[in-house]
Chains A and B, each alone.
Chain A
Amino acid sequence: MLRVGVIVSFVLVIIGLVLVSITGDTSYPFGVPEFWWFIWGDPFLAPSHILFIGFMVLISTPVLRVIVSILMYLKTRDAMFSAITAAVLMILMMSFMLGIG
């Protein structure tokens, strides 16, 4: 799972970087981006948006690992660690939601 995440993001970043260089696409927002840009791009899958998706795939690999751990602790009915792991996931989610911009 980890390896797949790293390889997929590696490929996306290479494609994105090459496309950005060829097209000179500069739609990647400098400064603080709008929240919806992260999802829809401008336009969707513009070269710099591909780059960005590559970064997000990379960042979500450890997040996925946390989610898998929650499921594992729930399955073994370990209430304490289900709660601890869920709290870690909440902090992760919070970190993206509470941007200063």
Chain B
Amino acid sequence: MLLPLYVIYAIIISFGSGVLGALLGLGGGVIMVPLLVFLLHVPLHIAAGASIIAVVATSSAAAAAYVQDELTNMRLGMFLELATTFGAVTGAFLTSVTSEAVLKVVFGLSLLYAVTTMYYQMRKTTRSWVSRQNDRIADRLRLDGSYNDTARDELITYGVGRTPITFGISYLAGVVSGLLGIGGGGIKVPAMNVVSGVPMKVAVATSNFMIGVTAAASALVYIRNGFCDAFITAPVVLGTLLGASLGARLTRKVKGVFLKKVFVALLTVLAARMLLSGVGV
């Protein structure tokens, strides 16, 4: 028996999403799930289950590259992980009792959120980062850190402020991740960076470490509940891993701005289709 055709299509879709995701510093899930739903007519629950396992794969592959350096703040990550894993379990449970239509609307709204933040990032040329002092919780847990900025050749130390807010947002990021089968880095990174004053590079590395653990929690619920279709998940895992590793290599050669415009346009279309399909138009 030959490979069923949709296995090949699933590999192509996830490969493309993996490349794009790595180029833009997003997980591929946010683009792959809608493509699987609309192009291959995979039920959203199954697409989300395949995506969340692929998210574990890309996170682990990327983390292997990060571990050597000192960017990842393990203490901060592990503390926030309390909130995200619990959120992920909540979200993954909600998925199994939520109808496809409601999920589509939630997914569409999340895509709109992603589009809006990307749009504003494109317009803002310089990133305003405000450093903060440790608050009481961060002080007690010693969440602050430092790293060597190789570009500027100086040691950057940072505190972690407003910890409870970031903890709360992390819980929500976990719920979204579990509910929709995406990584949720787009929610955690701004929380750490803007709310708590963690430098961007540290926020990205720490979020990436967290995504693997969060996605593992969601993935276990999906598998246990039978939302892991082997014939969709296997090609998606393979395609995403290959695509992400190619994307990581291409990052330096491709112009970011043009790509982001294309991506924003694509996400807007997908968001609209998700919402319309959710309300039954």
Hey, which bits of chain A sit against chain B, CB under 8 A?
2-3, 5-6, 9-10, 13-14, 16-17, 20-24, 28-33, 38, 48, 51-52, 54-55, 58-63, 65-66, 69, 80-81, 84-85, 87-88, 91-92, 94-96, 98-101
Contact = CB atoms under 8 A, between A and B. Distances in A.
Nearest to B229: A30
B114 interface: no
Given A21-B3, A61-B212, A100 B93 contact: yes
B119 interface: no
Interface size range on B against A: 35 or more
B99 to A, nearest CB: 15
B2 A58 contact: no
A2 B56 CA distance: 11
A99 B224 contact: yes
Contacts of B226: 29-33, 101
A3 B64 contact: yes
B109 interface: no
Interface of B is mostly: helix
Interface string B226-255: 101111011101100100000000000000
A3 B96 CA distance: 32
Contact of A2 (B67, B218, B225): B67
Interface string B149-164: 0000000000000000
19 contacts: A3-B64, A13-B234, A14-B238, A16-B230, A16-B234, A21-B1, A24-B1, A32-B224, A48-B230, A54-B234, A55-B219, A59-B216, A59-B219, A62-B215, A65-B212, A84-B79, A91-B82, A99-B221, A101-B225
A91 B229 CA distance: 24
A16 B237 CA distance: 12
Interface in B196-225: 209, 212-213, 215-221, 223-225
A55 B53 contact: yes
B64 A2 contact: yes
Contacts of A100: 93, 96-97, 224-225
Interface stretch (B13-21, B83-91, B187-195, B271-279): B83-91
B81 interface: yes
A94 B202 CA distance: 30
Interface of B: 1-4, 7, 53, 56-57, 59-61, 63-64, 67, 74-75, 78-79, 81-82, 85-86, 88-89, 92-93, 96-97, 141, 209, 212-213, 215-221, 223-226, 228-231, 233-235, 237-238, 241
Contacts of A92: 85, 213, 216-217, 220
B1 A10 contact: no
B235 to A, nearest CB: 7
B43 to A, nearest CB: 12
B241 A10 contact: yes
Contacts of B238: 10, 13-14, 17
Which 3 pairs from chain A and chain B are nearest by CB?
Answer: A99-B224, A62-B212, A32-B226
Given A24-B1, A28-B230, A101-B225, A6 B85 contact: no
Nearest to A85: B78
Contact of B86 (A33, A61, A80, A91): A91
A61 B2 contact: no
